[in-house]
Amino acid sequence: MASLTVRNLRKNFGAVEVLKGVDIEAQTGEFIALVGPSGCGKSTLLAMIAGLETVTSGEIWIGDRMVNSVAPKDRDIAMVFQSYALYPTMSVRENMAFGMESRGIPKDEQKAAIARVASLLQIEPLLARKPGQLSGGQRQRVAMGRALVRDPKLFLFDEPLSNLDAKLRVDMRTEIKKLHQRVGKTTVYVTHDQVEAMTLASRIAVMHQGQVQQFDEPDTIYNRPANIFVAGFMGSPSMNFIQAEITSASGTPMVTFPLSDGGSASLALHDGVGERVKDRKVVLGIRPEHLSRQSASTLGKPGMATMTAPVEVVEPTGAETMAVMKFGELEVVGRFSPDEAPKTGENMPLAVDMSRACLFDPATQKRI
Amino acid sequence: MSDATLSSAPALDLEAGRAGRRHLISRIVIYGLLTFFGIIYLMPLWVVFFNSFRPLAEISANGLIAFPQTFRLDAWPQAWSEFCIGGQCAGMQRYFWNSIMMVVPATIISTAMGAITGYVLSKWKFRGSEIIFGMMLLGVFMPGQIALLPWAFILGKIGLANSVYGLVLVHCIQGLAFTTLFCRNYFVGIPDDLVKAARIDGAGFWRIFYRIILPISPPILIVTVIWQFTGIWNEYLFGVVLNSGANQPITAALVALSMSGTTVRTYDVMSAAVLIGALPPLLVYFFGGKYFVRGLTQGAIK
């Protein structure tokens, strides 16, 4: 039995359709990430699951109950907000006890629950402080503690790390993952950061303009994206999209696109993709890390194709080096290890891993 | 580079000197004007204050605006409990208590109602809530005199004419527009996420109000209480029209006092009476004034 099932959910705000038929589900103990750009509807979806927004049409099931018209407090959920929403005039302990007080739980049970959660999140020394006296990371943990204390069926996180600085965000991300491994509750996590989604989730729902573009495991989303939007959104730097044509050379299907020097590159298609292609025009998608310098080792691997391209800008980050190259008129980003890093102005011999490349239909934007 | 700095150093000094003098002159003008206006505002208070301690003979001899030469406390007890106003010789005492009995309940009730109404209009928005708020705003901008006759009519009908309770009712209703405006604008600054989190935690309408909204409210509640207290205490029109005789508040009684006195104008007693009437709002401003300003300029928590 799934912890959460959302069926064909629609939401209108007046004449504006914000959610256009969303279907997702979460098995017990799963960590689902809802990821997408601003305005895609992920926060609205979360608010509807929480009961803070009404449903225009569709069904929301938590456990074995349809909860469309159930009040938030009766849905057996807990939520962590982007702004933490800690009650400013109450101490941390009172913040955590507020929900239990409202439900009339006896005092000793309250104390036991608070003690358990405080030791789990290591916020025991903070219990007497007010939210104004806590740092951002501490407030975050208190907000999670307030949610944990409820022991609900479903955890909802609404971009909880957005208000933290970069380093703290990475640390808290790991803490959330460890917490989930320990506590094992079903979690729905909304974020606009695809790195958070990839690292935390067991399944990701990529949303765009009110629709779920793809709902799959991170690995599938990354390597076999359903359409151009998913491919471009996940991964940083994002995937390179090259307008190309299908040609064939001695029976082998190839994808061809123009180069800067006026010639063109033809890369052999891999894995039977050639059979599925309908039109001649395609969009070739290559991730930056699938470009490498030609060498004995790279050329030996199956699915590798070669070409050369001039290098315009080189950006070393220490651990790796990004390079902006020109394929014809198009700027393409590559990710190289510092040992094989290109030099600015060099006409770099490239090895392209075609077994990982994706072809997209320009008309439907879907992956072929 | 160093050449440029050296050669421009004397020029800079001249310019700096000129700017410094301009600054000084503007300071003198500003402070001069402020002091001048300060004196103008405070003069009436000083005159009344001194006159309440001068014997009547001296006032008649030296004029109203003169430095006191003798000091007498007689005027005060006279004003409080002995002076004859409109036939009764019991001083201002009775009217003072009328005003207190009118202001305190009206302030408390109108502030409480304003807080709840502001809470509803800002945190529990419903269809038409903005229209209702707009209509309540009309109450802020509408002159009070418009409601005078309707109030006279209503109070007569429900039997509260010429009583302190009638005035309490009037001021509660008249004040509701202001108190709602203050509280609603303040509560709008409280993050909605707090209310959402409380709803998920299981708190209902009143619980959220008592445990979450009210504890953050002291700044705006103080502003509202001070505003209402001084406004209702100083209010004259409704007090003098709707009530008469012994049921009037102190503002109306002061006017009656100034018309009493047969041949001679007892400036000393009148001054003392005026100060008695002005004392409560003055005290409120002295002790609460800084909270008033702070509350007006402070938003809600972040």
Residue A6's nearest CA partner among A76, A59, A53 is A59
Determine contact: A82 vs chain B, CB below 8 A.
Answer: yes
A169 and A285 belong to one structural domain: no
Query: In whole angstroms, what is the distance from residue A30 CA to residue A27 CA?
Result: 5
Torsion of CA A166, A171, A173, A175, to 10 degrees: -160
Contact across the interface for B197 and A81, Cβ inside 8 Å: yes
Shared domain check, A214 and A256:
no
Residue length of chain B: 302
* Cα–Cα distance for residue pair A175/A287, rounded to 1 Å: 29
pTM over 0.90: no
Q: What is the CATH number of the domain that holds A201?
A: 3.40.50.300
A89 and A123 share one domain: yes
**Which domain does A203 fall in, by range?**
2-230
**pLDDT of amino acid B261:** 62
Of B116, B92, B83, give the one whose Cα is nearest residue B208: B116
- Minimum distance, in Å, between the CA of residue A192 and any CA atom of chain B: 19
For chain A, the residue count is: 368
What does the DSSP 8-state code read for residue A153? S
Last residue of a domain, one of A230, A253, A269: A230
Output the pLDDT for position A271: 66
Q: Which of A62, A75, A81, A96 to mutate to test the interface with B (most CBs of B within 10 A)?
A: A81
Residues on chain B touching A146 (C-beta within 8 angstroms): 197, 201
On whether the CB atoms of residues A160 and A86 are closer than 8 A, the answer is no
Structure tokens belonging to residue A349: 């011999």
Q: Which residues of A touch B212 (CB under 8 A)?
A: 87, 89
**Burial tier of A153 (Cβ tally within 10 Å: 0-12, 13-18, 19+):** middle
Give the three-class secondary structure for A89.
coil
The domains found in chain B, sorted by start residue, are 2-74 (no CATH), 77-297 (1.10.3720.10)
Residue to mutate among B125, B190, B200, with most A CBs inside 10 A, is B200
Q: Which of B57, B56, B54 is nearest to B69 (CA)?
A: B54
User: Inter-chain contact A52–B301, Cβ cutoff 8 Å?
Assistant: no
- CATH number for A348: 2.40.50.140
What is the CB neighbour count within 10 angstroms for residue B192? 15
What is the pLDDT at residue B37?
A: 96
Residues A114 and A72 in one domain: yes
A57-62: strand order across its sheet: A16-27, A2-13, A57-62, A65-66
Q: Is the peptide bond before B105 cis (omega within 30 degrees of 0)?
A: no
| Residue A58 sits in the same domain as residue A166 | yes
Contact call for B301 and A81, based on CB within 8 A: no
Asked whether the beta carbons of residue A85 and residue B197 sit closer than 8 angstroms, the reply is yes
Q: Which chain A residues contact residue B202 at CB under 8 A?
A: 73, 99, 102-103
Q: What count of Cα atoms within 13 Å lies in the side-chain half-sphere of residue A19?
A: 27
Residue labelled with tokens 């076999």: A224
Measured between CA atoms, how close is A96 to chain B, in angstroms? Answer: 10
| Contact status of A104 with chain B (Cβ, < 8 Å) | no
Does residue A89 sit at the B interface (CB-CB below 8 Å)? yes
Given a cut of 80, whether residue A300 has pLDDT beyond it is no
**Interface probe with B: pick from A94, A102, A155, A156, most Cβ of B within 10 Å:** A102
Provide the CB-side half-sphere exposure for B30 (13 A, CA).
6
**Sequence-ordered list of residues with C-beta below 8 angstroms from that of A68, at least 6 positions apart, any chain:** A55, A59, A60
Q: Which residues contact A268 (CB under 8 A, 6 or more apart)?
A: A252, A253, A254, A305, A354
Nearest CA in chain B to A84: B193
* pLDDT digit string, tens, across residues A234-263: 998 999 999 888 877 666 777 888 887 767
Say if residue A189 is in the same domain as residue A250: no
List chain B pLDDT tens, one digit each, 302 residues: 555 555 555 666 788 888 888 899 999 999 999 999 999 999 988 888 888 888 888 888 887 787 878 888 888 888 888 887 766 777 788 899 999 999 999 999 999 999 999 999 999 988 899 999 999 888 889 888 899 999 999 999 999 888 999 999 999 999 999 999 999 999 999 999 999 999 999 999 999 999 999 999 988 999 999 999 999 999 999 999 998 888 889 998 888 887 776 667 788 888 888 899 999 998 988 888 888 888 777 755 44
B267: three-class secondary structure by DSSP = helix
Domain stop point among A230, A259, A283: A230
Q: Sort out which chain A residues have CB atoms less than 8 A from B207's CB and list them.
A: 102
CB atoms inside a 10 Å sphere around CB A233 = 25
Asked if residue A212 and residue A66 are part of one domain, the reply reads yes
Per CB-CB distance under 8 Å, the chain A contacts of B301 are: 88, 132
Beta partners for residue A5, in sequence order: A25, A61
Cross-chain residue pair B212–A89, CB shorter than 8 Å? yes
Number of domains in chain A: 2
- Binary contact (B200, A88; C-beta < 8 A): no
A224/A252 same-domain check: no
DSSP assignments along A168-231, one per residue: HHHHHHHHHHHHHHHH--EEEEEES-HHHHHHH-SEEEEEETTEEEEEE-HHHHHHS-SBHHHH
- B295/A313: higher pLDDT: A313
**A62: left (phi > 0), else alpha (psi -120 to 50), else beta?**
beta
Contacts of B193 in chain A (CB under 8 A): 81-83, 85
Q: Answer whether residue A367 is part of any domain.
A: no
Of the residues A166, A198, A230, the one at which a domain ends: A230
User: Contacts of residue A99 in chain B, CB cutoff 8 Å?
Assistant: 200-202
- Collapsing DSSP states into helix, strand and coil, what is residue B236? coil
Q: What kind and span of H or E run contains A323? A: strand A321-327
Task: Quote the pLDDT of residue B302.
Answer: 40
User: Are A346 and A294 spatial neighbours (Cβ–Cβ below 8 Å)?
Assistant: no
State the ipTM, two decimals. 0.82
Nearest residue to A72 via CA among B125, B203, B210, B209 = B203
Strands A240-249 and A252-258: antiparallel
| A353: Cα separation from own chain's centroid | 24
Would you call A85 and B199 a contact, using CB atoms and an 8 Å cutoff? no
Same structural domain, A81 and A135: yes
Structure tokens at B211: 């445990």
A120 and A206 belong to one structural domain: yes
